[in-house]
Structure 1
Amino acid sequence: MRRQATRSSAIFTVLGAGLSMGMLAPAHAEEVASEDPIVVTARGRPEAQIAVPDTVTVFTQDDIVRRKLTTIDEFVAATPGVFMINDQDPGTNMITVRGVSTNRNQSPSIAYVVDGLALADSELFTLRTYDVARVEILKGPQGALFGRSASGGAVNIATNDPSDVAGGMASLGMGNGFTWTADGVVNAPVSDRVQLRLAGSYRNSDGFIRNSYLDRKVDGFISRNLRLKANIATSETSTLKLRIGWANEEGGAAYISSENVTGRNDGRLSGAILTDPQGDFEGRASREWWGAQATFEQELGDALMLTWSGGYDSYHKDFVEELDFRHDTPVTLGGVPLFPNGIQPISQPVDIEAWTSELRLTSQGAGPLRWHAGFFFQRLERDRTDDFGPLLFGAEPQRAETRSNQIGLFAQASYDMLPSFEATLGLRYDRDRRKEDTVGTDTATIYARRAKTFDKWQPKISLAWHPTQDFTAYVTGSVGFKAGGFNPLPGASDIWTANFAAETVKSLEAGVKGRLADGRVRLALAGFVTDYSNFQNTVFLGNSVVLSVPKVDVHGLEASAQAELGLGFRLDGAAAWTHSRVGRYTTPNPTPEPGEPATIDLTGNRTPNAPDWTLNGGIGWQGDAGPAKVDARLSVAYVSRVDFEIDNILHTPGYASVDGRVGVDLGPWSLEVWAKNLFDKRWAISAFGQQQLPLLLGLGPDGPFDSFTINSGRQFGVGATHRF
């Protein structure tokens, strides 16, 4: 209790230290919003970033171009306090925000919203981003607005809408790895009431990671993407917005290396131990998605806006790999030569269908009371087959057929109690009815049938002080939760339970935001304390199972700054310190050896995929060079030690990466040269350890082994864009 009080008092000391920045004349909260050029929709309506009582990282369209951000991984890497792993195939990913982490094959811990509608499954999070207007990353529980699966935060993406100006752009690029890119946009106003926008993106690469045994690159890919949007003014007070999207991707997958990192390097994934892949089976993945969305907006007089959005997503992924990641044959398990040709092929196809709908009523105008209320529904059908090939020893593969029906009721109101003091109260109720059937793929035998309902009230309260239009101090308390789920049915000797509980996250945040020197300098500082219950930790014990950790203690500090230095120079930097540690927790030993204890104490361990420190910094210059406009930027990102599993054995030490870009505008033409990971640093981006995975512990010959994936190394290229 005393330690918790000390953390809270430290946060409020940080808050109080910043108040002197705002001891000027009071300003109405709406006036704050009217002055800041950076506008966000973090609370369901357009507002100034500086006025929002949350930590919100914003990437504008200019930021996206200058930093060469093309995937969600790159947006996350540029956001301190957030960490992401893209693992084994394009759809499997884990995002950690302030220590709150997604687990494999279950509900995400972060809401991912595109054009106002939440995506239903984390498989959809890594679809390529293109023709993007703005990306907002909100940290901390956002359940009151975004509902279930926003326990860590939210990513809010707005793609460019059609406009009444005809034109577009075409872009071509090439880079190392024999990489070719093409992007295009056509904006076509059909009439005064109808505008269309067609956007497309194409990527083709031979890859960057070479398999030393197969003697070829194994991470090549092709990505094809199209999106058509339409804005239709159905009356003077109503608008219909339509969006249809399609994506098709194929390429290498599970390019995983194998080495005894635990035995030879004490689990440290660095230096010569980071060998290239050497398996004799090339993993492959392909996926296809298409989706449609309709949004109808109706003004109800001058005071209200009624909005309805509905969307449909259809997704299929094929994924095949090996599980020994070696070329020695026969492969032994516990010294027995069980697999003459290796452990291959292993297949895990996924099918998803989702229907999403939201109805919202929002107040309009600049009065002291601003509010919205609404209803949300989402139906998710997800089928995943686990065909473990030789590991089944003749048994039929099984398919997990998961069905989820989520409803949400929400409301939020902000009121200016004084001209410079705003109070916000939000509340949402989510009910997620889940059921899962485990079905044999050959005989249709039902091996298990389970159902469970997870529900939660998620409040949020914020107090914000705007003494001037250039300063905000705030305190925010919020709650989020993530639904529980179903493990494979345990046998008599298994250590997991058939079901696992929902996660709950309760957080208190205090912060200050300010602008100085007529807006040329922006500063932000925030501290937070988080109570994280029932962390869903994934362990591979024959299959992926969740072992719930009752308590995780999280607290941290974040700071950011941007400054226009004059003469065209701009400096920006941000740092996040997140202390995420397992509370008192003992668990059965997943890989007990003779003489080892049957249970292990993990109290105080770092949580997986949650580095203590993440930092970003960059310097840019914009200016004229004769008839050309030059935009140059050099940036660096640092990530401290990352532990990939809860036992804290297999880990990558801290690493830094330097990126750079120089762009030149010549009228309608733009040229660029760019590089990522300029100094070709090498690190592991994911790993599975032998002390957590019995298969790896018993694998041979010459085992045991750990498995890990290395980063792609240096990438560089050139590009040209023509606007018309």
Structure 2
Amino acid sequence: MASALAAPAWAQDNVPAEPQAAPQEAEPQAGDIIVRGLRREETLQDTPAAITAFTSEAIESAGIEKPADFMALTSNVNLVETQNAGNAFVIIRGITQARNSEPSVAVVVDGVQQVNPAQFNQELFDIDQIEVLKGPQGGLYGRNAIGGAIIITTKQPTDTLEGRVKVGIDNGFGYSVRGGISGPLAEGIKFRLGGSLVDTNGYIYNPYLKEDADPYRDYAVRGNLLIDPAPGLTIDLRASGAWLRTQALYFNIVTDVNDTHLPVRVNNAGQNDRDMYNLSMKVDYDTGAGTLTSITSYDTLTEVLTGDAFDFLPIDESFFNGLLGFDMNQSQFLDVKAWSQELRFASPTGRRFEWMVGAYAIGTKRFISTGNMVDTGQGVFPVFHHPSTNPINPQATFLADDQDNFAWAGFANATYKFTDQVRVDASLRYDHDRRKNTTLTPTAFLPVVPGFSAGATGDVRRKSYKEWQPKVTLTWEPTRDLTLYGGYSKGFRSGGFNQSGVGAIAAANGIVGVGDTFEAETAETFEAGLKAQLFDRHVTFNASAYTTKSQNSYFFVFLAANSTQNLGNVPEVRLKGFELEATAHPVEGLDLNAGLGVTYSDIKKFPDPTIIGNEAPLISRYTLNLGAQYKKEIGDSGISPLVRIDYRLTGKTWFDIQNSTVRDPVGLVDARAGLNTDHWSITAFANNLFDKKYNAEFSPGGFVFKARPRIYGLEAGYKF
């Protein structure tokens, strides 16, 4: 589906038929948006899928600088930001995510699929295009594409020297610098280097510590070498790093998610440090009979999280201090290393029958430790692989697990064009995920629950998950401005391990559906849609409707007894919904957009019968987007004023399987105004313009995490 305020396609012309009598195709014209989400290039209008696409111009005009920005402009898509940078939940059409879970979408950056959900929520800079595909894409992208796929394309190396820089300030007080430079190095070698720096004191005040609870500093850099050593051969080398320093775990405890009156009053500022590195190499070789592609990637991620613990109040007011005579704080450490390799062969394009075959493999080593320490009022210190021996923070509880996972897949995609108007797309992928978990919790810290076994130090658990994922779509284009499509797709998300001993603790506390392992999830979707361009393509209208059967969807449980974050399964959830989207270009310089996404969820099966019939967690009933943008050059001055306003209304949202509370609809307004030329720009902005107070998340147990208030500032950019 068309992006918010993305330029509509104005014209297309048929090109001559291929010698093999392939159906004629419309040649892309100026203004057409070219998307790659279905693993081939074609116009957004011709793509038989619900896709929201943001071009580089739309990204710049909308001020998209992080995932939350483009997801807020996309119907039936939500991003829930919570306790730490590595935990941000993507929800597409009711397919949800939870803490420490596998992702709900495949995220592909420049052809390389991200391997860790903790990578997703990071700064976006030097970006050329973003595509959001809705609905299971397992046949194309494999495990974890159960809710959809997000395709991010960065700006590519150029043949001539060029660059850009943008600086900004906000009311944090914060400042930012983002930019990129590109050009040739030698014959057949081009480079691009991009980076960003964002630094703010924060926006959410903690009156107890007399400082902001959410200071944020992020450095990131990305380098790219594009090498053409021989005709038909291209080598794309990339390296990136990102270093985040912030704070987290500044919860409040309430019974109603709409209760926002409490200030943050944790007595431990804590820390949230995340370091990420990536190396990748993509090789394309045109053999004449088709293109052979190899993609190799290596990623590392470490994140340490410390802060206050339940009930997130100063020591003399805390629950545990009143009950036991001492308060608690907490720490979590995550260390992930992963390699991946994809190899595929694709037929030439522009033919009646196009196909692709390939294989994929990924190996992941993951260590996680969590624990509580006694809060002596002297701060909280990180705990890594072993329990703390720091007398300032005596260790009270500690759990640690090591995972060694290997997954592989084989896949095939094909398109057959029966006529100029009718085609079928089919994909089939088989994923096999083998997981091994080793308990590294020292014996002294293993939970002891009478009547239950919590395992032993050194215990090894093994489990495998596998699934076939088909996808088939039939498309009919009766005219060049109308596309009708319908089909079936299946997605798959691996199961895994909760930390050792969780099952015993859950059983002892009467919690149903949570054990030492959680099962794989599948989602089967039937979908139908249309894309229309009207009034000489000055108006676009897109609609889609879907029904999904989700089996073993995730839900989150926090076990206070051992301070662990755990996943359980809901045996069956039914999801139904639709999207309506429109853009209009009534006069030169003015663009309007509207989008409505609706999702109904219904828990059909669960061990506790009181849960059946409830809404699934983290799902919003609807999203409504309205936007307007005016940008037009003043005479022949070369100066174009920009005025843009976006309104997003997120409907009632449920957060737990008990439906213990429901958040009222939240309406937010973002605004931007400035001046642009071919080389420079200056823009004033305000996010959450009317300073709406709401909680971004409610977690079982009554934990609420405050959303950011109004943020406003000024940006200036220069291009050469």
Query: Which moves more between the two structures, 286-295 or 618-627?
Result: 618-627
Q: What is the CA-CA distance between 1:78 and the residue it aligns to?
A: 1.3
Q: What is the CA-CA distance between 1:573 and the residue it aligns to?
A: 1.2
Query: Does 2:610 correspond to 1:601?
Result: yes
Unpaired stretches in structure 1, ≥5 consecutive residues: 1-26, 588-599, 691-705
Q: What is the CA-CA distance between 1:447 and the residue it aligns to?
A: 5.2
Query: Does 2:301 correspond to 1:315?
Result: yes
C-alpha change, 1:581 and 1:447, in structure 2 (3 Å) is farther
Cα deviations by residue, 1:505-535 (Å, 9 ceiling, x for unpaired):
0000000001122322111000000011111
Q: Is the 8 A contact 2:54 2:129 kept in 1?
A: yes
Query: Does 2:515 correspond to 1:497?
Result: yes
> Which residue does 2:352 correspond to in 1?
368
TM-score (ref. length: structure 2): 0.88
Paired with 2:630 and 2:641, the residues of 1 have a C-alpha distance of: 8
Q: What is the CA-CA distance between 1:396 and the residue it aligns to?
A: 5.9
Query: Does 2:391 correspond to 1:380?
Result: no
Paired with 2:166 and 2:699, the residues of 1 have a C-alpha distance of: 39
C-alpha change, 1:339 and 1:413, in structure 2 (3 Å) is farther
For residue 678 of structure 1, give the secondary structure of its aligned residue in structure 2. Answer: coil
For residue 692 of structure 2, give the secondary structure of its aligned residue in structure 1. Answer: coil
RMSD value, Cα: 2.1
Paired with 1:383 and 1:297, the residues of 2 have a C-alpha distance of: 34
> Which residue does 1:483 correspond to in 2?
494
Q: Is the 8 A contact 2:403 2:436 kept in 1?
A: yes
Paired with 2:285 and 2:102, the residues of 1 have a C-alpha distance of: 33
Paired with 1:689 and 1:667, the residues of 2 have a C-alpha distance of: 51
Paired with 2:92 and 2:27, the residues of 1 have a C-alpha distance of: 27
> Which residue does 1:571 correspond to in 2?
592
Question: Of 247, 259, 263, which aligns to 1:276?
Answer: 263
Q: Is the 8 A contact 2:312 2:318 kept in 1?
A: no
Q: Is the 8 A contact 1:102 1:110 kept in 2?
A: no
Q: Is the 8 A contact 1:32 1:466 kept in 2?
A: no
Q: What is the CA-CA distance between 1:52 and the residue it aligns to?
A: 1.7
Q: Is the 8 A contact 1:331 1:338 kept in 2?
A: no
> Which residue does 2:407 correspond to in 1?
406
Query: Does 2:242 correspond to 1:247?
Result: yes
Query: Does 2:543 correspond to 1:530?
Result: no
Q: What is the CA-CA distance between 1:427 and the residue it aligns to?
A: 0.2
C-alpha change, 1:188 and 1:406, in structure 2 (3 Å) is same
Query: Does 2:28 correspond to 1:34?
Result: yes
TM-score (ref. length: structure 1): 0.88
> Which residue does 1:170 correspond to in 2?
165
Cα deviations by residue, 1:403-429 (Å, 9 ceiling, x for unpaired):
221101011101011221001111000
Query: Does 2:92 correspond to 1:92?
Result: no
Q: What is the CA-CA distance between 1:501 and the residue it aligns to?
A: 1.4
Paired residues in the alignment total 661
C-alpha change, 1:187 and 1:239, in structure 2 (3 Å) is same
Cα deviations by residue, 1:577-596 (Å, 9 ceiling, x for unpaired):
00012113343xxxxxxxxx
Alignment of 1:117-516 (within 5 A): 117-258=112-253, 261-262=254-255, 267-270=256-259, 273-301=260-288, 303-323=289-309, 324-329=311-316, 331-333=318-320, 337-340=323-326, 342-344=327-329, 346-390=330-374, 397-440=398-441, 446=457, 448-487=459-498, 488-489=500-501, 490-491=503-504, 493=508, 495=511, 496-516=514-534
Paired with 2:336 and 2:302, the residues of 1 have a C-alpha distance of: 6
Paired with 2:35 and 2:527, the residues of 1 have a C-alpha distance of: 19
Q: Is the 8 A contact 2:469 2:489 kept in 1?
A: yes
Paired with 1:238 and 1:284, the residues of 2 have a C-alpha distance of: 46
Identity, % of aligned positions: 29
Q: What is the CA-CA distance between 1:394 and the residue it aligns to?
A: 5.6
> Which residue does 2:623 correspond to in 1?
614
Q: What is the CA-CA distance between 1:67 and the residue it aligns to?
A: 0.8
For residue 65 of structure 1, give the secondary structure of its aligned residue in structure 2. Answer: helix
Q: What is the CA-CA distance between 1:564 and the residue it aligns to?
A: 0.8
Query: Does 2:560 correspond to 1:559?
Result: no
Alignment of 1:552-701 (within 5 A): 552-587=573-608, 601-625=610-634, 627=637, 628-690=639-701
Q: Which amino acid aligns with 2:585?
A: E
Paired with 1:44 and 1:257, the residues of 2 have a C-alpha distance of: 44
Paired with 2:443 and 2:396, the residues of 1 have a C-alpha distance of: 10
Q: Which amino acid aligns with 2:344?
A: R
C-alpha change, 1:218 and 1:493, in structure 2 (3 Å) is closer
Q: What is the CA-CA distance between 1:88 and the residue it aligns to?
A: 0.8
Cα deviations by residue, 1:314-333 (Å, 9 ceiling, x for unpaired):
11111101112111526344
C-alpha change, 1:394 and 1:123, in structure 2 (3 Å) is closer
Q: Is the 8 A contact 2:373 2:397 kept in 1?
A: no
Q: Is the 8 A contact 1:377 1:408 kept in 2?
A: yes
Q: Which amino acid aligns with 2:525?
A: S
> Which residue does 1:16 correspond to in 2?
none
Cα deviations by residue, 1:165-186 (Å, 9 ceiling, x for unpaired):
2110122111111110111211
Q: Which amino acid aligns with 1:222?
A: R
Q: Which amino acid aligns with 1:554?
A: L
For residue 585 of structure 2, give the secondary structure of its aligned residue in structure 1. Answer: strand
Unpaired stretches in structure 2, ≥5 consecutive residues: 1-16, 376-386, 388-393, 446-455
Q: Is the 8 A contact 1:32 1:48 kept in 2?
A: no
Q: Is the 8 A contact 1:29 1:422 kept in 2?
A: no
Q: Is the 8 A contact 2:369 2:400 kept in 1?
A: yes
Q: Which amino acid aligns with 2:87?
A: T
Q: What is the CA-CA distance between 1:647 and the residue it aligns to?
A: 1.2
C-alpha change, 1:268 and 1:453, in structure 2 (3 Å) is closer
For residue 397 of structure 1, give the secondary structure of its aligned residue in structure 2. Answer: strand
Paired with 1:229 and 1:89, the residues of 2 have a C-alpha distance of: 29
> Which residue does 1:15 correspond to in 2?
none
Paired with 1:586 and 1:53, the residues of 2 have a C-alpha distance of: 39
Q: Which amino acid aligns with 2:677?
A: L
Q: What is the CA-CA distance between 1:103 and the residue it aligns to?
A: 2.1
Task: Give the helix-richer structure, 1 or 2.
Answer: 1
Q: What is the CA-CA distance between 1:541 and the residue it aligns to?
A: 2.1
> Which residue does 1:3 correspond to in 2?
none
Q: Is the 8 A contact 1:211 1:217 kept in 2?
A: yes
Instruction: Name the structure, 1 or 2, with higher relative contact order (CA <8 Å, separation 6+).
Output: 1
Query: Does 2:557 correspond to 1:539?
Result: yes
Paired with 2:24 and 2:673, the residues of 1 have a C-alpha distance of: 38
Cα deviations by residue, 1:327-362 (Å, 9 ceiling, x for unpaired):
1526344x963252x211x11011111101111111
Paired with 1:167 and 1:318, the residues of 2 have a C-alpha distance of: 38
Alignment of 1:64-83 (within 5 A): 64-83=59-78
Q: Is the 8 A contact 1:432 1:455 kept in 2?
A: yes
